[in-house]
Amino acid sequence: QMKLVQSGGGLVQAGGSLRLSCAASGRPFEAYLMGWFRQAPGKEPEWVASISPSGGPTYYADSVKGRFAISRDNGNYSLYLEMNNLKPEDTALYYCASVIRRYIRGEMRFETGEYRGQGTQVTVSS
């Protein structure tokens, strides 16, 4: 079992920044493709960003590209999401998770894997 414990988040004005952290324990964190997902009230969960096990290739949803940055520190078993220029539509419950990558009709898709953090609320006021 890998346990993921999140910190960060909160309330920020539009245009502001927040940083989310996710601390891992248990299974070898460095072996997993990791990512961040979010779910707004009344909406389906949405993939936000993923990062390869080594911390090399990163992937972003179009809605956050250029504003969010995912990173990891395998030595400290940690995953991060730096969020800049936040918009009201970024308001959601954010959670870190291990990630499953699939190719559907030639398109790369990311899904929540077996391990998931407890979630942290991000609220962006206009």
The predicted model gives 58-68 an average pLDDT of: 97
Residues 86-110: pLDDT tens digits? Answer: 999 999 999 999 999 999 999 999 9
Task: Return the pLDDT at 46.
Answer: 96
pLDDT of 26 over the 90 cut = no
**Which residue from 88, 109, 90, 91 is spatially nearest to 100, judged by alpha carbons?**
109
Tell me the C-alpha distance between 107 and 102, whole Å: 8
Q: Confidence class of residue 75 from pLDDT cuts 50, 70 and 90?
A: very high
Tell me the C-alpha distance between 7 and 18, whole Å: 11
* Among 24-28, 61-65, 66-70, 74-78, the least confident range: 24-28
Q: 27: which DSSP letter?
A: S
Instruction: Compute CA 62 distance to the chain's CA centroid, rounded to the nearest angstrom.
Output: 14
End-to-end Cα distance, the chain: 40
